[in-house]
Amino acid sequence: MDSTLASTIAEQYLLGWKVDILAAKGLLNLAADVMFHGFPSDQCNLEDVAVRKEWSRLSKAERREYIDAVLCMQELPSKSDPEQFPGARNRYDDFVGIHIALTLEIHGTANFLTWHRYFTWAYEKALRDECGYTGYQPYMNWGRYADNLLDSPVFDGSDTSMSGDGEYVEHDSVGIPSNDQPLILLPPQNGGGCIMSGPFVNWTVNLGPVSPSLTYVSANPQADGLGYNPRCISRDISPYVAQHWNKDEDTADLIKNYNDIESFQDHMQGDGFTNGFLGVHTGGHFMNGGDPGGDLFASPGDPYFFLHHAMIDRVFWTWQNQDPRHRTNVVGGHITLNNSPPSAEGTLDDPLDIGVNGDTITIGDAASTIGGTPFCYIYA
């Protein structure tokens, strides 16, 4: 076994978190599968495979390099068609815009996991190719910080964080899936206003909202959320959400006890919220909440989004690797949000469109992180 791969597996076991132990077990399974069957493509091999790491395991210099690359994305011109995304002003907005435009086609759908896998990879590629970033997309392991979220290295407000909480603004409970249809009510926390510390204090959100969780957010001039609407990042960081839905045990339960792709991805997304259950996906979004993080459509406008969705992808990757032969090239669900209106079942041939951010590929292309077309990465 390659020494880098062996050390990655050993580190995950030694960390002691249930999810990390499952990831290590999965990586052993993946290594055994590759040993017997080879890599799925000659475009990916042990020499080339990238390793994505948890935020706290990056050095401060590595975190600053990542932050600088993210800030660079707001300095580059948009590549989007101004008629399609008239509010886009920079390269970062290209990612927010396509997520807004496709939100109802990429959530509660057969392509949810693979579309966001490709989307996050394309963002990583843009950071590297266009902003000189030399690392790979980090993730936030929610369970490590569920009991101490505001002091986590992601949200502590230091210059190596993704910035801290928002200024306190009195506000009401937040309804999920919306304030108009509150199947779940999240109690207000101690933020709600513009973030007050860290590298993204001067960050400008240009697009959205479409369905804001905070009632006082300035409305977008267009109903589709794609008009120009500059404002700060606001947050309402919620230990309540983290402790209820994003504990280490919650994620481990998802990986261990949901054995088919459809039940796994549905439980991850909250099972429709009808039983008062957010799931790790929606929970992860409302750990920071606010604007745009509390808007399903515009949530990528807060750069924390990509640490969260890298963790979503790591959980998916870990689940796949519990049985790589039978869980990699699988698809379940339909092509409309929660099959409403009723629609066709998804297939491995369905396209994944991320707009100007990358070529259109298929669900099957995105099924393996070591498939080589285009991916070649694993998680530590």
* Spatial CB neighbours of 206, under 8 Å, sequence gap ≥ 6: 87, 88, 89, 90, 93, 96, 228, 229, 230, 301
Nearest-Å Rg of the Cα atoms of the chain is 19
Averaged pLDDT of the chain: 95
* CA contacts within 13 A on the Cβ side of 328: 17
Residue ranges of domains in the chain: 3-379
Average pLDDT of span 263-270:
97
pLDDT at position 343 is 95
pLDDT at 62 over 70: yes
Beta carbons within 10 angstroms of residue 112's beta carbon = 22
Architecture of domain 3-379: Orthogonal Bundle (1.10)
Give the pLDDT band (50/70/90) at residue 272: confident
Helix (H, G, I), strand (E, B) or coil at 184: strand
pLDDT digits (tens, 9 = 90+) for 92-124: 999 999 999 999 999 999 999 999 999 999 999
pLDDT at position 12 is 63
Is residue 222 within 8 A of residue 290, CB to CB? The reply is: no
Average pLDDT of span 64-74:
98
Task: Look at residues 359, 377, 356, 370 and name the one whose alpha carbon lies nearest to residue 98.
Answer: 356
Phi, psi of 19 (to 5 degrees): -65, -40
Average pLDDT of span 220-230:
98
Helix (H, G, I), strand (E, B) or coil at 352: strand
Is residue 70 within 8 A of residue 300, CB to CB? The reply is: no
Average pLDDT of span 261-271:
96
Give the pLDDT band (50/70/90) at residue 16: confident
pLDDT at position 4 is 60
Is residue 155 within 8 A of residue 165, CB to CB? The reply is: yes
Distance CA 135, CA 53 (A): 9
